[in-house]
Homo-oligomer: A and B are copies of this chain.
Amino acid sequence: MSSADTRLAQLIEPIQDGLSEMRDVIAANLVDGSPAVADMTEHIGRFRGKQLRGTLTLLVAKAHDVYTDEHPTVAAIVEMIHLATLVHDDVLDGAEVRRRVACVNERWDNQIAVLLGDYLYARAFGLSTTLSSRLASQVLADTTRKLCAGEIDQSTLRYHFEMEQAEYERIAAAKTGTLYAAAASLGAQYPNGDEAAAAEMASFGAEIGLGFQIIDDCLDVVGEEAIVGKSVGNDIEDGKVTLPILRTYQLADEATRAAIRQAYTEPEIQDRRGRLREVCDLGPGTEYALERANALVACAMGRLAPLPSTPAKAALEQVGEFVLERKW
């Protein structure tokens, strides 16, 4: 077990029961009368990853002492929306492996993957309408909308090496930060809690989420599939200019810039990531991106300071460390 694994095991201690309930709710909501659909939902149940978003919902609720019986369901809905985005992301990326399990688009095909993602969104929204408060439905519909808009913006900015860092961050915040923000803010606010606490936790989640995304982008460039547990190099294949690469490009001379653009676009290249790593030194750009992720997480941690000392608060502090040290 890596130190990140150990840390993850520790930080979920205060919410073991809630996480177990959350997983039961997810499992119950992946059952379907159609054998074909049930076969697919059973398959994607095996994508189960870190479940960090649901974990945030539960820990934030505990840390604010507003935890209710419904929080595991709220956390389950957050995770189901995340699962839906993963299934569609894998179509978009042409990815083959997700958490060491074949992606839906590989095991079946893109057609099934699009429909199954839609199905998961519908189940998540449907589940949210069974809760006593409409807050989760409202926050999560709004979040999904922003998340999709962020991905659309990202898609239209493929191969844009002249982008500002702020533009990259705006998009990464929209596509990843928003669901972390919703997860954390719902933890504090559901069913009808403190708006100020919700706003503060939304910022906390947004910073953690953006930090997480930057680390993800670094792993896509410098990680190995066997360790990361999913296909790597997809961003480059897909023309996405992520922070480590954007910074590398900004630091490079004209000849290197041309070689970087070529690694992204020359039709006959088989292994774009391999080519990219040959034509430039990705070290300083990646280092810069990691520092930015560090700064974001530090900022998020500062927002925890006013909370009373509890095991849940201590666990939230560990989330920050986990995001930075994780290798998968």
Contacts and interface: CB of A to CB of B under 8 A. Distances in A.
Interface of A: 32-34, 36-37, 40, 84, 88, 91-92, 109-112, 114-119, 121-123, 125-126, 128-130, 134, 137-138, 141-142, 144-145, 147-149, 151-153, 155-156
Nearest to A136: B129
Contacts of A122: 121, 141-142, 144-145, 147-148
Q: How many copies does the complex hold?
A: 2
A115 B33 CA distance: 27
A32 B129 contact: no
B151 A115 contact: yes
Given A92-B111, A122-B144, A123-B145, A37 B152 contact: yes
A152 B104 CA distance: 12
14 contacts: A32-B149, A33-B149, A36-B152, A36-B153, A40-B152, A112-B155, A114-B114, A116-B152, A121-B121, A121-B122, A122-B142, A122-B144, A126-B144, A137-B137
Contact of A126 (B88, B119, B129, B142): B142
Nearest to A171: B34
Given A32-B149, A84-B118, A128-B141, 4 more contacts: A36-B153, A37-B152, A92-B111, A129-B138
A73 to B, nearest CB: 14
B148 A119 contact: yes
> Chain A contact residues: over half helix, strand or loop, or mixed?
helix
A103 to B, nearest CB: 14
Given A91-B114, A118-B88, A37 B129 contact: no
Most B CB contacts (10 A, CB to CB) among A123, A148, A151 go to A148
Nearest to A134: B129
B137 A129 contact: yes
Given A37-B149, A119-B145, A153-B37, A125 B112 contact: no
Contacts of A128: 141
Contact of A125 (B40, B137, B147, B149): B137
Nearest to A84: B118
A63 B327 CA distance: 61
A148 B36 contact: no
Contact of A36 (B34, B129, B141, B156): B156
